[in-house]
Structure 1
Amino acid sequence: MTVLDAVGAGADGCEHHAARLLASLEGGRVYALPAAPAGAAIRVFTAAGTLRPFCWADGPRTEPSLLSHTENCKWHGR
């Protein structure tokens, strides 16, 4: 997987780590590498939406920037 940030800088990794990275980026994009299995980019994108960004940060998670996309949608009724 390749994960790109909003300005096009990128990093390659497995689906698990790509999802973690994508969850922590604003405006990130994910692309499957040539050897990736079918559907890998969709799986990463879907997983990233449910993961909390900055998983290494401890403490209470009350700010929207520390919640997953899914959690933020629930809070805002989307």
Structure 2
Amino acid sequence: MTVMDACNAGADGCEHHAARLLASLESGRVYALPNAPAGAAIRVFKAADTTAPFAWCEGAPRTQPSQRSHAENRRLRGWTR
């Protein structure tokens, strides 16, 4: 997987780490590498939606919208998807 930020800087990695990175970026994008299995980019995109930004910071308070996952923010606002 390749995860790109808003300035088109990218990093390659596995699906797990790509999802964590994508969840932590504003306006990030994900692309499958040529040897990636079918549907990998969609899986990463969906996983990033439910992953809190900077998930590796365990025990950090998640009180601000920028600290919660996109899915959690939608749920707290009463939006469904």
What TM-score, normalized by structure 1, do the two folds share?
0.96
- What is the distance in 2 between the residues matched to 1:77 and 1:71? 10
Alpha-carbon RMSD across the aligned residues, in angstroms, is 0.8
Gaps of 5+ in 2: none
Q: Deviations over 1:15-55 (max 9, x none)?
A: 00000000000100000000000000000000000000111
**What is the deviation of 1:64?**
0.6
2:64 maps to what in 1?
Answer: 63
- What is the distance in 2 between the residues matched to 1:56 and 1:36? 24
- What is the distance in 1 between the residues matched to 2:52 and 2:61? 12
- What is the distance in 2 between the residues matched to 1:20 and 1:14? 10
Paired residues for 1:1-78 under 5 Å:
1-57=1-57, 58-78=59-79
Q: Which amino acid aligns with 2:61?
A: P
Gaps of 5+ in 1: none
Identical aligned residues as a percent:
72
**What is the deviation of 1:3?**
0.2
**What is the deviation of 1:7?**
1.1
What TM-score, normalized by structure 2, do the two folds share?
0.92
**What is the deviation of 1:56?**
2.4
Q: Deviations over 1:56-78 (max 9, x none)?
A: 22321111111000000011122
